[in-house]
Amino acid sequence: MGALVKGKFEGYREIEPDLLVKEASLDLLSEIDSLVLDIDGVVIDVSQSFRVAMSKTVQHYFSKVLGWPGETTLITPEETQAFKLAGGFNNDWELTYAIVLFYLGKAEKLFATYLDYLRERGQKIEDFTAKVAQEGGGLEVAGRLTLGSLNEAQRRNVVELWRKDEIKQIFQEYYAGIDHCERLYGFKPTHIKEKGLLNAERILLDKSLLAPFLPRVAVVTGRTKKEAQVALERSGLVDFISPELVLSDDGGLRKPDPGVLLDVGSRMKTGVGIYIGDTLDDLRTVKNFGGLQTEMVFLSGIVLRKAEESQIYIKENADVLSKNVNDILSVVLDKRGRR
């Protein structure tokens, strides 16, 4: 199926090139009355912002803060996807903490601080994230696997160097920069003196496709409230979506807690909704919602990054998969008769 979804999958139908729908969910598409969107990877392309911020933060922390020698990039923006696919890393700060912890643990095992050596020797990122995925995903699992493999003295060393508040601040400074840091986070940058990576974000969503769903359009995001506000402003959606229908990561409930969908679904009086995201946490939010005692129904829409990822989401019973959020919305509108 096209460039992003490869192969034939039992129980799925190819509606158009690069778009698969689970056959059991086809009839429900025409009944969708509410739309819930993730921001990152759905409304906005963050491959040059958050993903780059993770990579740069890790590098800066080891090179500039800890002063470890070496030039090799410890993790590329593309490689951060391995953590996303492990699940449990909807929060990019926590994902960055996990990367730093991974390398601190490697340093103890290899008795080395030279970055080139740490990158090439010992456990690989993909092997570590595979184990994290097997154990359920997330920072807690990553921490247990890393610290649990060390002796007591090594654990003390790692914990002493794993300064999460400082890691988060560096991340925030890279992302927001000298132009947005005070507004978003309330402080002036001290580590990074350049414009924020958020300026590189690109709009993915065709907002004209939202009109038939209004006012039943909500956002559930791993961003903070202020980050979400900036994203909605930059994408031209701030006047489309009611503030009470924007749930952020600092608002209490967090994905994959199904309560986030119960909250916005109840406010919108949803009959059948679709939540469109781009990670396992997004999909599992919908799956977990299915276990609640409620008459509301939510389908899952997944925006794919790479062809091989389609199999991961199909294994998890995603309802709709496509390379493009606009294609998902167009298919739903077609099934509804464009109303």
CATH code of residue 241: 3.40.50.1000
Q: Give the mean pLDDT of the chain.
A: 95
Predicted pLDDT of residue 3? 52
What tokens appear for 83 in the block?
């953590």
Same domain (yes/no): 157, 29:
no
| Same-domain pairing of 135 and 257 | no
Segment 70-115, tens digit of pLDDT: 999 999 999 999 999 999 999 999 999 999 999 999 999 999 999 9
Which pLDDT value is given to residue 5?
A: 52
Torsion on CA atoms 77, 82, 84, 85, rounded to nearest 10: 150
- Note whether 137 and 83 are same-domain residues: yes
- Domain boundary pick from 197, 231, 262: 197
Average pLDDT over residues 254-264: 96
- Cα–Cα distance between 277 and 218 in angstroms, integer? 12
- The distance from CA 289 to its chain's CA centroid, rounded to whole angstroms, is 18
- Which of 168, 197, 226 terminates a domain? The answer is 197
Phi, psi of 299 (to 5 degrees): -95, 160
Residue 2 lies in a domain: no
Q: 1: pLDDT confidence band, cut at 50, 70 and 90?
A: very low
Residue 307 binned pLDDT confidence (cut-offs 50, 70, 90): confident
Q: What is the pTM of this model?
A: 0.92
Residues 190 and 61 in one domain: yes
Expressed as residue numbers, the domain containing 174 is 50-197
Residues 104 and 24 in one domain: no
328 shares a domain with 209: yes
Specify whether the CB–CB gap between 172 and 164 falls below 8 A. Answer: no
Token pair belonging to 304: 């794919």
- Same domain as 190, residue 62: yes
CB neighbours of 327 closer than 8 A, spacing ≥ 6? 16, 18, 19
Of the chain, the percentage scoring pLDDT greater than 90 comes to 91
In sequence order, which ranges of 162-258 are alpha helices (DSSP H)?
164-185, 225-234
Residue 4 lies in a domain: no
Report the distance separating Cα 254 and Cα 259, nearest Å: 8
For 111-159, how does the pLDDT look when each residue is reduced to its tens digit (9 = 90+)?
A: 999 999 999 999 999 999 999 999 999 999 999 999 999 999 999 999 9
Query: What is the Cα–Cα distance from 75 to 81, expressed in whole angstroms?
Result: 10
Instruction: Indicate the pLDDT class of residue 202, thresholds 50, 70 and 90.
Output: very high
Q: What is the pLDDT of residue 321?
A: 97
> Are residues 216 and 304 located together in one domain of the fold?
yes
Give the integer Cα–Cα distance in Å for 87 and 148.
20
